[in-house]
Each structure stands twice: as structure tokens, then as C-alpha cells.
Amino acid sequence: SHLMVAEPEKLYAMPDPTVPDSYVKAMTTLCDLADRELVVIISWAKNIPGFSSLSLSDQMSILQSVWMEILILGVAYRSLAFDDEIVYAQDYIMDEEFSRTAGMLDLNGCILQLVRKYKSMKLEKEEFVILKALALANSDSVHIEDVEAVQKLQDVLHEALIDFESSKQPEEPRRAGKLLMTLPLLRQTANKVLHHFYNIKLEGKVPMHKLFLEMLEA
């Protein structure tokens, strides 16, 4: 219930209506949305029980390594009610054609694979919020100093998932494990998306806000 309350409000992409759709416009819109989402994710992380008691340095290392996973998991969850469309925001939904224009066909295909997995499992909101917190706690950053404290954070959230499943889905004893087994695909997808935006940064054609750049460079 704590995680349900900590869930942030929806953001809007607000693409510039005066600019025609193009690859650069799509990337500009997504980078701007991601920059604003990052601010929200950072304050969300502070509401995860145990996160704020970590050292500032460990909090930074964790967020720098998992922020894209948190972003993608949110996008995947928002896309659950749609057919083969990626919901970056309620006002920014990419179908196949738009994905092609935006140069995101392959990436959106990866995200769709994740969405299909969660769809087939009928992922619930409670499971989504625990999984998102677990993705945060599951950082494998080599820069973490107090590994034990991070492990404890992981254990508490893992426990929450097991508790939820044993009370809500007792007829599906392997459901918690099944959910955890989606985390590798989430990481793989997030890494691909990071690569994509890092290359865009190198090209230098898309304006990027400071926080987004800072996290991309980390």
C-alpha cells in the first residue's frame, strides 16, 4: 500500500503541434519527456522504504544504473491496455507507422515483447509497483559501497512480492518467480534504449536537457 501511494501522477509529452512529425521531433519530444520523468523518478525513489537511508553516493549509483529500466517499465505498464502500441504518455502513443517515422521500430518491438509478457500474465498494478521498486533495488552497479544495505532493501521488496502473491494469487505459486524472470528482458531493453539515445547525443541533432544528459553520460 505504501508503494501504491508513492506512485507518481501521469506526465504528458505535449509534442509541439506547429512542427511536422519527423525523427528529430519525435526524439526531441521523448528526450524532453524523459527529462521530466527523471525528476519524478528521483523523488519517487526517495519514497521507497529504505532507499533514503542509503548513503547519498549509493543512492546516486543506483539511480544512475537503473533509471532507464524504471522508465521502460512504466511505459510497458501504460501500454498494457493497447494493442501493439507503445504508450510513452497518454498524449504520445506510437503505433507501428509512427515508430518507423521516429526510427524506433526495433526499440518499440523490444518493449512490445515485454508488454506481451505482462499482458499474458495479466499484470496487476500492485505487482507493477513492487516490480518497479525491485528493479531499483536490483541495481548491479559496481559502485555500490554498502552492498549489504542494498541487499536488505531487495529482501524487503522481494518479501512484499511474495506476500502479495500468496494472498492474492495463491492458485499460481510460481507467479512471483515468473515476474522476477521478466527483469532480464527489462534490463536488456533498457540497455538498447540507452544505446539509442547515447548515439543520438553523439549525433548532436536533438536538444537534450541537462538532467537527461547527465544521466545518459553516467
Partner 1 sequence: KEKHKILHRLLQDST
* Residues near partner 1, by CB under 8 A: 39, 42-43, 46, 56-57, 59-60, 63-64, 210-211, 214-215, 217-218
| Dihedral angle, C-alpha 62, 180, 7, 162, nearest 10 ° | -120
**Choice between 67 and 164, CB closer to partner 1:** 67
Closer to partner 1 at the Cβ: 31 or 104?
Answer: 31
Identify the residue whose cell numbers are 501522477: 9
Contact call for residues 118 and 15 (beta carbons, < 8 A): no
C-alpha cell, 96: 507501428
Q: How far is the CB of 215 from partner 1 (least distance, A)?
A: 7
For the bound state, the minimum distance from the C-beta of residue 217 to partner 1, rounded and expressed in Å, comes to 7
Residue 209 region by backbone torsions, left for phi larger than 0, else alpha for psi between -120 and 50, else beta? beta
Q: Name the nearest CA neighbour of 180 among 132, 108, 148, 119.
A: 132
Q: What is the DSSP letter of 11?
A: -
Tell me the closest approach of the beta carbon of residue 91 to partner 1, in angstroms: 25
Query: Which lies closer to partner 1 via its Cβ, residue 37 or residue 165?
Result: 37
> Strands 92-94 and 86-89: what pairing?
antiparallel
Q: Could you tell me the smallest distance in angstroms from the CB atom of residue 196 to partner 1? A: 21
Q: Closest CB to partner 1 among 61 and 79? A: 61
